[in-house]
Amino acid sequence: MPEAMVASSASEATRGATTQQVDVAVVGAGFAGLYLLNRLRKAGFSSVLLEEAGDVGGTWYWNRYPGARCDIQTIDYAYTFDPELERAWQWSEKYATQPEILRYLGFVADRYDLRRDIRFGTKVTATTWDQAAERWWLTTDNGASVSCRYCIMATGCLSAPKPPEIDGVKDFKGEVYFTGRWPHEEIKLAGKRVAVIGTGSSGIQLIPLIAEQAAHLTVFQRTPNFALPAHNGAPPADRIALLEGDRAGYREQARMSLAGVPWPQQMAVSWQLSDAERRERFETAWAAGDLVYILTQLWADQAVDVDGNTLLADLIREKIREIVKDPETAAALTPHDHPFGAKRPCLDTNYYATYNRPNVTLVNLRQEPITGITASGIKTGKRSLDVDVIVFATGFDAMTGAIMAVHPITGRDGKSLSDVWANGPRTYLGLTVAGFPNLFMITGPGSPSVLSNMAVSIEQHVDWVADRLIAMREAGLTTIEATETAQAGWARHMADCSTLTLHRLANTWYTGANVPGKASGVMPYTGGVGPYRTICDEVVSCGMLGFRLTGPNVPEQCNDGEVVRLQPDVRLVLNMLAEMNLPPIESMGAQGARDFVAEFNKSRPAGRPVGEVVDGTLPGADGPLPYRLYRPATPGPHPIVVYFHGGGWVLGDEQSDDPFCRDMCRRTGMSFVSVGYRHAPEHRFPAAAEDGYAATRWIAEHAAEIGGKPGPLMVAGWSAGGNIAAVTCQLARDRGGPAISGQLLVCPVTDCGFDRPSYTDNATGYFLTRSLMYWFWDIYCSPADRTDPRVSPLRGKLENLPPALVATCEFDPLRDEGVAYAEALSAAGAPVEQLKARGHFHSSLTMVDVVITGVAARVQMADALCRFAGLPPERKEGDEGVRPRSDSLAA
Ligand SMILES: Cc1cc2nc3c(=O)[nH]c(=O)nc-3n(C[C@H](O)[C@H](O)[C@H](O)COP(=O)(O)OP(=O)(O)OC[C@H]3O[C@@H](n4cnc5c(N)ncnc54)[C@H](O)[C@@H]3O)c2cc1C
C-alpha cells in the first residue's frame, strides 16, 4: 500500500489543518521538479510538488526580462527522456526566448498531467527529520505541512536572487525591477532614463534591448565579462541533421561529454598551431555563435592552462576593441581579471555595439563605486545621476541560496544544514549530505550543474534518485544516508578536480564570491558531466558505496569508502587504457613493446617549446650514445641536469620523455640532457648503469661546450631512469666524480625485492603491473646480479650522497621501494625531500599536459632542482594555487 495516509490532493490538504502525507515531497517546479514528479508518479510513489511560483517553469517563470534566452542551443537544452516528447515539440530558434521555453515547460506539464500534484504559491519554509518516524516534515507558508519519507530539493541553482548591496533602494521614488523577479505585465521604458546595475548574463541580454527603448541608459559595471555573439536565428541545420541522423547516439554523446553538449574532446594544443591557424579557429568559433564550441573546441589547453587561455582571451579582447569605438569605454568593457571561461561567459546580441549608441553611458564602478541610492537616482563617488527606472541585474546567490533559504533544514540529531555548511557546502556527489537521511538535492553543489548543459545534468540526477528509491523499495529499505567518509572523500576529489580547470583563478558566483560573507570555494563539480555520470553509476555498482541504508526488516547495509581515490585525470587515462583492451606489454616481446610505446607516445600532446633542442652523441661506457639537449630560452650558461628516461631498462629512448624534459627545462631554466643509454635484452646489466655514469662524467667535463654552466651538475630520472640516476650518484661518489649537487628520483626502481605492500596493492590495474616489472627485471638482470647496488641502489652504501627529492605515487607498485630509498638516504645523512603524490599512478608525473593534476608535483620537483643548483624557486605563470601543501600531496 502506498504511504499516502491522507489524500495528496492539494485542495483537500490545504483546507484542513492536517499534514499531507506522501512518499515523496519535491520542492520546485522547474526543469528538475517536473521530470522528477513524472518519474516518481510512474514508479508508483505518492508525491507532491511544492512551488512558490504561480505556475511551472522555475527559472523560466521568474526571469521574464526583455532578451531572456537560453545560451545552450535549444536542441540540446531540452528534455530527452521521451523521444515522443522530442518529436512533439519544435523549437523556433537556435536560442529560444524565455516565453518559448516557458511554453515548452507548460506543454510538458500538460502532456504528463503534472499540475494536479503541484501546490503552486506554496513556499517551503523549513524542514525537519523525524528520526522516530523516519520521515521529513515540511512547513510551508501556505496550507498544510507535508510529511514524507523522502524530500527532494529541486529548488534550482539560480533561483535565489541576490539582494542589492546598496543603501537607499527603498528611498528611490522611481520604478525598481529585478531581472530574476521580472513582472508579468509589460514594462514600458520608452522615453525613460534607465539605470542597469550589473553586467552578468542577464544584464548582457537585457542592455541592448533597453537601449533601443530608453531615452537614456546608464550601465553600472563592476566586473567586465566576456560576451560572444550568439548569431541567433533558426536552429542550425547541421546540428539538427546530426541529431536526427542518430538521436539516441547524439543524446548519449551529450551525456558522456564534458559539458553535456556533444562536442568531441579537442586534441591539438595551442603551441602546435601557428598564429594563423589559431586565428582561423577563433574566427570560425566567433562566427558560429556557440558557447560550448568556443569554450571547448579551439585548442586542448584553452581551459586548463593560463598561457593557452590567454591566447584565446586576447583574441576576444581584440574583438571588443574593434567593436567599441570609444577606447576608454572599450578598455572598461575588456575583462582582465579572470581567464576566459573561468567566469560564465555570455552570449549576446549587439552587446558591445550598444555602447556606441549616443544614449548609452557606461559607469565603471571600479573607478567610481556607487555610494547610495537617493529618491531621484544613483550617487557614485564622482556624480549624481537622476533616473526613472533602476534595473538590478545583480545575479543570484547561486547553488546554495535557495536551499539555505529553507531554514532551518534540521537533520539527524538536530543538526542544522546551515551549521554543517557554515564553511561552504559539503555533499556526497552533490546529491546528498551526511547527517541528512532521505534528503536529496537535484544539481546540488558538488555536481556538474551550472558548468554543464543543465537539462542533461538534471535528467541524470532525477534518474539516479528515482532509480535508487525504486531499488530501496524493492529491497525493503527505508532510509539512505551518505557516510562522513564518503563525503570527505568527495570533498577531496572536488578539490583535486578544481586543479584541472582555471575556475579556481576567478572570483565568481561559481565560487560564492559574488555574495558578501559567503564561504568561498568552487561549488560545481569541475570534472565533467560524463566522468561524473560514470562515478554515480560506480557508486551503485559497488553496492551503494558510501551510503548507509536501513529498513525495518532487513540488516543495515553500509559499504563505506571513497568512490574516487585516483586523481580525476588519472582515472580518465586509466579508463581509456582499459577501454583499449591492450594485450599485456610483456606479451609483445621487447621490439613489439618498443613499437607500441613509440606509437602510444605519438598520441600525446606535443611537448612545449623550449629555447632550443639539440641532438648529438656522446661516448658511453662502450660506444657512442645519442642524447637530446633541451636548452631554455634565457641566455646561458645554464645549470645542467642529466636525465634518464623510463622504460624498465628495455623501452624508450632519449626522446621518449620529451614533454617532461621540456616542462622541467621551462620550469627550472636549466638545460636538460636526456641520455639514450643502452637497453636490454641486447645489452643487459650493467650496461644501462655504466652508460648512465659514463654519460654524466662526459657531460660534466664538456658542460661549457654544450652551453652549460661548469661545476656540479644534477641528475634526474623516472622509473628505471630514476634507478640509473640513483646509481650514478653512488658511482660518482665512489669513482672520484663528477660532482653532483642533487638527484631527482621520480618513481625510481631502487630494489630487487618484490615483497613490499605496494607490489601487492597495485599489482594490476594501474598500467605498470607487477608482472610487467617481473618481465623488465628478467630481461635486464639475471637473479645472481640483482643485489648489486648498480641495479639495487637501496642495497648500496648510502653515506655521502647528494641531496635528493624522491617522488612516489600512491598507485604504483614501485611506491614503497621509493619511500624506502628516501628513508634510507635520509638515515644516512643526505637531505631528502619526499613527495608522495596522492591519487597518482606510475606515469602521472611525467605525463605532462595529460595528467594535469601532476602539475603541483612538477612545480615541487622544479623547485627542488633549483634548490640543488642554489637558485631561487622558479614560478611559471599558471601555477597559481597549485603549489603543493603538505596535506594535498601526502599519501
Ligand atoms: C536567465 C537564465 C538563463 C539560463 N540559461 C541556461 C541555459 O541556456 N542552459 C542551461 O543549462 N542552464 C541555463 N540556466 C540555468 C537554469 O537555472 C537551469 O537550466 C534550469 O532551468 C534549472 O532548473 P531547476 O528545475 O533545477 O531549477 P529552477 O528552474 O530554478 O526551478 C526551481 C524552482 O524552485 C522553486 N523554489 C525554490 N525554493 C523554493 C521553496 N523554498 N519553496 C517552494 N518553491 C521553491 C523556485 O520558485 C523555482 O520555481 C539559465 C538560468 C537563467 C537564470
68-127 tens-digit pLDDT: 999 999 999 999 999 999 999 999 999 999 999 999 999 999 999 999 999 999 999 999
Q: How far is the CA of 160 from the centre of ligand 1 (A)?
A: 9
Give the per-residue pLDDT at 872.
Answer: 82
Number of Cβ within 10 Å of residue 872's Cβ equals 8
Distance CA 431, CA 444 (A): 6
Look at residues 833, 169, 258, 683 and name the one whose alpha carbon lies nearest to residue 497. 258
Half-sphere exposure of 880 (CA within 13 A, CB side): 14
Give the per-residue pLDDT at 592.
Answer: 95
Q: How far is the CA of 366 from the centre of ligand 1 (A)?
A: 30
Q: How far is the CA of 501 from the centre of ligand 1 (A)?
A: 25
User: Which atom of ligand 1 is closest in space to residue 69's alpha carbon?
Assistant: 3
Residue nearest to atom 3 of ligand 1 (CA): 70
Residue nearest to atom 16 of ligand 1 (CA): 59
User: Which atom of ligand 1 is closest in space to residue 59's alpha carbon?
Assistant: 29
pLDDT tens digit sequence for 190-245? 999 999 999 999 999 999 999 999 999 999 999 999 999 999 999 999 999 999 99
Half-sphere exposure of 242 (CA within 13 A, CB side): 15
For helices 31-42 and 454-475, give the axis angle rounded to 10 degrees: 30
User: Which atom of ligand 1 is closest in space to residue 406's alpha carbon?
Assistant: 41
Mean pLDDT to the nearest integer, 495-503: 91
> Best substitution site from 49, 51, 59, 291 to test ligand 1's pocket, by max atoms within 8 Å of Cβ?
59
User: Which atom of ligand 1 is closest in space to residue 56's alpha carbon?
Assistant: 49
User: Which atom of ligand 1 is closest in space to residue 95's alpha carbon?
Assistant: 8
The rounded mean pLDDT for the chain is 94
Residue 778 amino acid letter = D
Q: How far is the CA of 726 from the centre of ligand 1 (A)?
A: 58
User: Which atom of ligand 1 is closest in space to residue 205's alpha carbon?
Assistant: 1
Q: How far is the CA of 170 from the centre of ligand 1 (A)?
A: 27
Alpha-helical runs (H) found in 529-622? 529-541, 568-580, 589-602
Share of the chain above pLDDT 90, in %: 90
Q: How far is the CA of 503 from the centre of ligand 1 (A)?
A: 22
Residue 3 amino acid letter = E
User: Which atom of ligand 1 is closest in space to residue 28's alpha carbon?
Assistant: 34
Does residue 158 register a pLDDT over 60?
yes
User: Residues with beta carbon inside 6 Å of ligand 1?
Assistant: 27-33, 50-53, 58-59, 61, 63, 68, 70-72, 77, 123-124, 154-159, 202, 402, 405-406, 442-443, 453-454, 458
Residue with cell 520604478: 175
Does residue 876 register a pLDDT over 70?
no
Q: How far is the CA of 12 from the centre of ligand 1 (A)?
A: 28
- DSSP state at residue 180: G
Q: How far is the CA of 345 from the centre of ligand 1 (A)?
A: 18
Q: How far is the CA of 401 from the centre of ligand 1 (A)?
A: 12
Give the per-residue pLDDT at 875.
Answer: 56
Look at residues 779, 785, 726 and name the one whose alpha carbon lies nearest to residue 752. 785
Does residue 144 register a pLDDT over 90?
yes
pLDDT tens digit sequence for 252-309? 999 999 999 999 988 899 999 999 999 999 999 999 999 999 999 999 999 999 999 9
Distance CA 404, CA 432 (A): 14
Mean pLDDT to the nearest integer, 527-531: 96
For helices 247-256 and 237-245, give the axis angle rounded to 10 degrees: 100
User: Which atom of ligand 1 is closest in space to residue 63's alpha carbon?
Assistant: 1
Mean pLDDT to the nearest integer, 56-67: 98
Q: How far is the CA of 542 from the centre of ligand 1 (A)?
A: 32
Q: How far is the CA of 625 from the centre of ligand 1 (A)?
A: 64
Look at residues 393, 389, 346, 383 and name the one whose alpha carbon lies nearest to residue 363. 383
287 burial (CB, 10 Å; 0-12 / 13-18 / 19+) is exposed
Give the per-residue pLDDT at 606.
Answer: 85
> Best substitution site from 159, 202, 204 to test ligand 1's pocket, by max atoms within 8 Å of Cβ?
159
- DSSP state at residue 519: P
Give the per-residue pLDDT at 81.
Answer: 97
Q: How far is the CA of 115 from the centre of ligand 1 (A)?
A: 18
Q: How far is the CA of 122 from the centre of ligand 1 (A)?
A: 16
Q: What is 216-262 written as a DSSP string?
A: EEEEEESS---EEE----SPPHHHHHHHHHSHHHHHHHHHHSSSSS-
Sheet holding 623-631, edge to edge: 612-620, 623-631, 671-675, 640-644, 713-718, 740-746, 804-811, 832-841
Residue nearest to atom 4 of ligand 1 (CA): 70
Share of the chain above pLDDT 70, in %: 96
Q: How far is the CA of 157 from the centre of ligand 1 (A)?
A: 6
668: left (phi over 0), alpha (psi -120 to 50) or beta: alpha
Residue nearest to atom 7 of ligand 1 (CA): 70
Residue 765 amino acid letter = G
Instruction: Determine the 3-state secondary structure of 1 from DSSP.
Output: coil
> Best substitution site from 75, 158, 346 to test ligand 1's pocket, by max atoms within 8 Å of Cβ?
158
User: Which atom of ligand 1 is closest in space to residue 201's alpha carbon?
Assistant: 1
C-alpha cell at 261: 553538449
Distance CA 761, CA 205 (A): 55
Mean pLDDT to the nearest integer, 578-598: 93
> Best substitution site from 97, 295, 454 to test ligand 1's pocket, by max atoms within 8 Å of Cβ?
454
User: Which atom of ligand 1 is closest in space to residue 31's alpha carbon?
Assistant: 25
Does residue 16 register a pLDDT over 80?
no
Q: How far is the CA of 59 from the centre of ligand 1 (A)?
A: 4
Distance of CA 171 to the CA centre of its chain: 44
Q: How far is the CA of 274 from the centre of ligand 1 (A)?
A: 42
Instruction: Determine the 3-state secondary structure of 80 from DSSP.
Output: coil
C-alpha cell at 613: 633542442
User: Which atom of ligand 1 is closest in space to residue 65's alpha carbon?
Assistant: 1
Mean pLDDT to the nearest integer, 734-760: 98
> Beta 640-644 vs 409-410: how paired, if at all?
unpaired
- Integer-rounded Cα Rg, in Å, for the chain is 31
Q: How far is the CA of 105 from the centre of ligand 1 (A)?
A: 12
User: Which atom of ligand 1 is closest in space to residue 122's alpha carbon?
Assistant: 43
Look at residues 234, 226, 241 and name the one whose alpha carbon lies nearest to residue 285. 226
Give the per-residue pLDDT at 10.
Answer: 39
Does residue 1 register a pLDDT over 50?
no
Contact assessment for residue 746 and residue 807, using Cβ atoms and an 8 Å cutoff:
yes
Give how far Cα 73 sits from Cα of 26, 295, 709, Å: 28, 14, 57
Q: How far is the CA of 357 from the centre of ligand 1 (A)?
A: 33
User: Which atom of ligand 1 is closest in space to residue 180's alpha carbon?
Assistant: 53
Mean pLDDT to the nearest integer, 537-552: 98
Number of Cβ within 10 Å of residue 186's Cβ equals 8
C-alpha cell at 490: 568527495
Residue nearest to atom 12 of ligand 1 (CA): 454
Instruction: Determine the 3-state secondary structure of 481 from DSSP.
Output: strand
